[in-house]
Chain A
């Protein structure tokens, strides 16, 4: 639905949000894009995860760039695979990163759903099995001194005990490096120098033990099991098998 045909009683954010879905459906991707870890999975908020809750904010001032926040966000959204450094591992559906669209990461190991998108921000929500449950918001605004700022903000928990155990073993650092690199690339795209400010806050130090069963969706475990059982599936497909 577009702004032009939106019913008058609807709020002006109505077109920016994904519609409610119980489980994710992967559409608009080339045939053969492996989506088994995403298709049929529920989207997860930071409330359904297992580990400590973190708010991570990465910011870069686009010193000297003339770009408006809307221009920064449009460029970021349209060029997300390249600007994030994920390249061909980030599969964008044919309709683009619009609210409700599901993109695949790691060549289909997991994915994200576009929860929200407007002119100056867009947000991904993760599915069951992903390392994190939560939201990642990319936005841009003008600072008080008139400089355009690009920002990525995560509100996340590790999804299950296995991912939580991996957080201090490099998962935290890997996540930080991904978004610091992304912001440096966004800055470079607009001709700015790209010094990234990072702020990490532990919003909730409690682990949610009632969600330990999330591990049954863990994409590493499921992918390993899928690989191990490949010979059985091959035997089952043989004539008379």
Chain B
């Protein structure tokens, strides 16, 4: 089984918001890395998780599936899931898969964090 070609670093930007910097490929093999990053990002009762996709290089349909299962976990914890740094191509994929109905898409980290802080 191939290894995950992805790294995810977690940064806490304030008491309520954590950012996960996604770099590399989002496929089925990224599941463990993504869930570990989420657990780390959730430490301390944060209200919102922001996914930074500026470093996203490749995503297949299993990667989109992972985002749906992450979203369900986030909702269960009464948190919000937001993103920024999506290229036009990946924004198009969020549109066709209708993930944009449920995950907020922002142009920059500042906008995403502001949106997370104001709700």
Chain A contact-residue range equals 35 or more
Q: Is the CB of A203 within 8 A of B72?
A: yes
Q: Is the CB of A45 within 8 A of B99?
A: yes
Q: How far is B72's CA from A16's CA once the two chains are assembled, in angstroms?
A: 26
Task: Find chain A residues with CB under 8 A from B89 CB.
Answer: 10-11, 14
Q: Is the CB of B98 within 8 A of A44?
A: yes
Q: Is the CB of B1 within 8 A of A144?
A: yes
Q: How far is B64's CA from A11's CA once the two chains are assembled, in angstroms?
A: 16
State whether A116 and B60 are in contact (beta carbons under 8 Å apart), knowing that A20-B95, A21-B96 are contacts in the complex: yes
Q: Is the CB of A47 within 8 A of B99?
A: yes
Chain B contact-residue range equals 20 to 34
User: Closest approach, in angstroms, between the C-beta of A159 and any C-beta of chain B?
Assistant: 13
Q: What 1/0 flags go to B53-80 for Cβ under 8 Å of A?
A: 0000111111011001101100010000
Q: Is the CB of B60 within 8 A of A20?
A: no
Secondary structure type dominating chain A contacts: strand
Task: Find chain B residues with CB under 8 A from A182 CB.
Answer: none
Task: Find chain A residues with CB under 8 A from B1 CB.
Answer: 141-144
Most chain-B Cβ atoms within 10 A of its Cβ — which of A11, A12, A16? A11
Secondary structure type dominating chain B contacts: helix
Task: Find chain A residues with CB under 8 A from B101 CB.
Answer: 45, 47-48
Q: How far is B72's CA from A115's CA once the two chains are assembled, in angstroms?
A: 21
Q: Is the CB of B62 within 8 A of A125?
A: no
Task: Find chain A residues with CB under 8 A from B33 CB.
Answer: none
Determine whether B2 belongs to the interface, using a CB cutoff of 8 Å to chain A: yes
Task: Find chain B residues with CB under 8 A from A123 CB.
Answer: 61
Please tell me which one of the listed residues A48, A135, A141 contacts residue B61 in the complex, with CB atoms under 8 A apart: A135
Q: Is the CB of A19 within 8 A of B96?
A: yes
Determine whether B5 belongs to the interface, using a CB cutoff of 8 Å to chain A: no
Which positions 77-103 of chain B face chain A at CB distance < 8 Å?
87, 89-90, 92-93, 95-99, 101-102
Q: Which residues of B contact A (CB under 8 A)?
A: 1-2, 28, 57-62, 64-65, 68-69, 71-72, 76, 87, 89-90, 92-93, 95-99, 101-102
Given known contacts A55-B69, A139-B28, what 11 new A-B pairs fall within 8 Å (CB)?
Answer: A13-B59, A17-B93, A20-B95, A43-B96, A45-B97, A47-B68, A116-B60, A135-B64, A135-B65, A143-B1, A155-B65
12 chain-A/chain-B pairs, Cβ below 8 angstroms: A10-B89, A11-B87, A11-B89, A16-B60, A17-B93, A20-B95, A46-B68, A48-B98, A115-B97, A141-B2, A155-B69, A203-B69
